[in-house]
Amino acid sequence: MITSKDLEHIGWLARLELSEEEKEEYAPKLNPVLDYFSDLDEVDTEGVEPTYHVLALSNVFREDEVNTKCPLDQDEALSNAPNSQDGFFKAPRMM
């Protein structure tokens, strides 16, 4: 059972501020979903390896050379930034 207190902690982990109404409203909607998920408890997965990806992946390597086809220059990279200064993204203060 997730309580509204749990939601506050999970919201903090997810960097997602939740209003009091949201905490009240979400718990009764999320708990039936978690109950439903518990059907996996009955599956015997002893010795079964997890599947992270369905196909075998291999690394994509390239020569360590400047890629002139690189799509973004600095202006383009900053073009969507809500706040930028001197060619940098401007972030809020740490504390």
Partner 1 sequence: MWASINELKERIHADSSEEIVAQYLDRISKSKLNAFIYTVGESALSRAKEIDTNDIDGPLAGIPVAIKDNISTYGIQTTCASNILKSYIPPYDAHVIERLKEAGAIIIGKTNMDEFAMGSSTETSFYGATKNPWNMDRVPGGSSGGSAAAVAGGEALLALGSDTGGSVRCPALFCGVVGLKPTYGVISRYGLIAYANSLEQIGPLATSVRDVASLFDVVAGYDPRDSTSVDKEVNYSSALMNDVRGLKIGVPEEYFEEGTDEKVEKAVRDAIHTLEDLGANWKKVAMPHTKYALSAYYIIAMSEASSNLARFDGMRYGLRTEDKDWHTTFSQVRAAGFGDEVKRRILLGTYALSAGYHDKYYLKALKVRTLIKQDFERAFKEVDVLITPTMPYPAFKLGEKIDDPLSLYLADVDTVPINLAGVPSISVPCGFSDGLPIGMQIIGKHFDEAAILRTAHTFEENTNFHCKRPEGY
Which chain residues interact with partner 1 by CB under 8 A?
2, 6-7, 10-19, 22, 26, 29-30, 32-34, 36-37, 39-41, 43, 45, 48-55, 57, 59-60, 62, 71-72, 76-77, 79-83, 89, 91-95
Minimum Å gap between C-beta 86 and partner 1 is: 15
CB 27 within 8 A of CB 4: yes
The distance of closest approach from Cβ of residue 9 to partner 1 in the complex, given in angstroms and rounded to an integer, is: 9
Cβ contacts of 18 within 8 Å, gap of 6 or more: 7, 8, 11, 26
